[in-house]
A and B are shown apart, each in its own frame.
Chain A
Amino acid sequence: MAERLLEVDGLQVSFLTEDGIVKAVDGVSFTLDRGEVLAIVGESGSGKSVTVMTLMGLTRSPNARISGSAKLGGRELVNAPERELERVRGAEIAIAFQDPISSLSPVRRVGDQIVEQIRAHEKVPKQQALDRAVELMERVGIPNARQRAQAFPHEFSGGMRQRAMIAMALSLSPSVLIADEPTTALDVTIQAQILREVKQLSEKSESGVIFVTHDLGVVADIADRVLVMYGGRVVESGTLDEIFYDPQHPYTWGLLGSVARMDRDRPRRLPAIPGLPPSLVNPPQGCHFRPRCPHAFDKCVEVPPLEARVAEAPAHLDRCWLEVSEKRELRSVGGHIGLFDRTVAA
């Protein structure tokens, strides 16, 4: 089988802090192929941002402990020397951050910042690099690109800044584009446009896209596969259809159930997942979701392994001890999928 574009295996990231050891990423594994859009979904603190930043070595620090494997086209990234990562960053893996007003240097022109990235990796004269930057800005839909390139970040609107950020990330045609909550700071209408552009660009250039978000609407729009993360672990992973139509993990049910949908009757109250996210310093024993799960039972104090439990879907993995039949029963009430508090009659 050909090498996968990106192969992550057993990634662990812990931080030593004043309050103890924070296990931000606890054994995360996934893959990414060319032309694929993978969405990583989870709430704040689930470890999704730390995971993608670790791929690029951006979480390295004196109080971080990183182990496991992350291979880009067969090359190992974890513990690779800094010099090597500097070459990979921006050129082979690029990331577009959320909230670009603080992610772009306020004192330099937008065009110059894109040029800076290009020239850091390729020996290109300034004027040529600037031309390329302008072209990229046009490609992501920024009007009057040549003039705009001379402007400063605070002179752009939110949507345009995000596009500029994406343009910058694409400037060297990376094989993996990571978008870290790119639409969180944007209006819904702009959001839709940007998503479409990202999808088109990735299809055209055959790169893989990792989309980190907590917004299921965005996921439904463009993802091919979905990774659901909770408490530093992957709790479910599968194709878009598998996750949306046959979700196997209670947390996923909760996420799906809490989204307001136009195609269903309005529930009296929009269900929320009760409880609080787990402490990463002192996580619950066994399944991290156990304290908030109405379906938890005695086996849940053992960590459920990430496995395929649905016979017809060998690539649909989840971390829940419940039988598949039980899951299908418990997860819907009146045709709605959600996290409902009820016991199964004996």
Chain B
Amino acid sequence: MQSGRLPEEPQGPLTVGVGPYRLALRRLLRNKIALAFAVLFALLVIVCLLAPVYSHDVAHIGPNTTNVTGTITVNGHVEDVVSASGVPIGPTGTRHYLFGADEEGRDLAVRLLYGGRTSLLIGAVATSIIIIFGTLMGLLAGYNRFADAVLRPIMQLIWSFPPVILGVAVGTALALGGIGPVKGNSVFIPAFIIGVIYIPYLGFPVRGEVLRLRELDFVDAARVQGMSPWRIMLSEILPNTASTIIVFVPMMLAYSILLEAYLSFLGAGVQPPNASWGTLISDGIDYIQTVPTFALIPGAMLVLTVLSINVLGDGVRDALDPRAQVRIKT
């Protein structure tokens, strides 16, 4: 007869469940391409932040120092920085005017880095505005009917304006006069305008999510527990919208930097003598037939930066939504 003893069952390791964000992070770290572009983006940011160092120690010239009548020695030849007919010099390969000059004789490389700082700063400020206010408005509008009655038409109105027209109109107007203590050529004006314009782009999706979440049982459970509406919104609903919001951060950053370029191109964004990639491209386009690098180099920087953000953003989205790995059965 057999006895009922069980043989030793080796106990497997006790796996503690990993939260969805940890899992997503792991997935993201496995995505080589996204990581590569993240590194590229980080490098671009660092290089731009080091603008003053480059300006001071390498090029020995400030971003706004004009030099229309100066000359420079390249490979033994003496060249005009800006020719008699107004055409600036192209890339020299030396530490002075590495990428060439602009029409006022300013060092393009230095302005490129300072301009990068400006573009990135505007993008960051705008994105912060979008995230903070977009989330707030979306939360309130989704959760509370009265708030919705007020907020939804406002968001709808802003959203119906094509960003470019609205931005350009307001930007031009403000650029001329400034508003209150903020001067006309402060970079916070374009940052503010861009931020406000894109608020509904986040606000509406968040509102939609909140509307959906509000119907779920866990909200009723919280209400029954006696939680105040604010508490429910912040500690129950908001965390559940987090993945939607996270996905939007890189997207809004990319949009903001691009919109700034558009506004600056049309003269409604960053004002002279400040530079941004948008203004540089805009200036450069006038000389595209004679000195194509003037427009193409800032253009390349802008595209690379936005591209890196977009690829990273894609990676984040894929990491948070594993179904993106699925294939169609063929």
Contact = CB atoms under 8 A, between A and B. Distances in A.
The finding on whether chains A and B are genuine partners in a shared complex, rather than unrelated, reads yes
Interface of A: 18, 60-62, 282, 284, 290-291, 294-298, 300-301, 326, 342-346
A298 B327 contact: no
A60 B329 CA distance: 7
B6 A296 contact: yes
Interface string B1-15: 111111101001000
A61 B4 contact: no
Contacts of A298: 7
A54 to B, nearest CB: 13
B3 A282 contact: no
The B interface is mostly helix, strand or loop, or mixed, namely loop
Given A61-B327, A62-B327, A344 B4 contact: yes
Given A282-B12, A291-B9, A297 B4 contact: yes
| Band of interface residues on B | 10 to 19
7 contacts: A296-B6, A296-B7, A297-B7, A298-B7, A343-B5, A344-B1, A345-B1
Given A282-B12, A291-B9, A297 B327 contact: no
A346 B1 contact: yes
A62 B330 CA distance: 8
Contacts of B1: 344-346
Contacts of A295: 4
Contact of B5 (A18, A291, A297): A297
A282 B329 CA distance: 27
Contacts of A294: 4
A345 B4 CA distance: 9
B2 A297 contact: yes
A301 B8 CA distance: 10
A221 to B, nearest CB: 34
A301 B2 CA distance: 15
Contacts of B3: 297, 343-344, 346
Nearest to A330: B4
Nearest to A300: B7
Contacts of B7: 296-298, 300-301
Contacts of B327: 61-62
Interface in B297-330: 322, 327, 329
A61 B329 contact: yes
Contacts of A291: 9
A203 to B, nearest CB: 35
Contacts of B322: 18
Contacts of A61: 327, 329
Nearest to B4: A343
Nearest to B326: A61
Nearest to B327: A62
A345 B327 CA distance: 56
A298 B7 CA distance: 6
Given A344-B4, A346-B3, 5 more contacts: A62-B327, A290-B9, A291-B9, A294-B4, A301-B7
Contacts of A296: 4, 6-7
Contacts of A342: 4
A61 B328 CA distance: 8
A296 B2 CA distance: 10
Nearest to A64: B329
A344 B1 CA distance: 8
Contacts of B329: 60-61
A344 B4 CA distance: 7
A61 B329 CA distance: 5
A272 to B, nearest CB: 19
A98 to B, nearest CB: 20
Contacts of B5: 297, 343
A273 to B, nearest CB: 16
A62 B322 CA distance: 17
A326 B4 CA distance: 12
Interface string B86-113: 0000000000000000000000000000
Contacts of A301: 7
A294 B322 CA distance: 39
Contacts of B12: 282
Nearest to B7: A298
Nearest to B325: A18
A343 B4 CA distance: 5
Can you list the 10 inter-chain pairs with the closest CB atoms, starting with the nearest? A343-B4, A346-B1, A297-B2, A298-B7, A61-B329, A296-B6, A62-B327, A343-B3, A344-B1, A346-B3
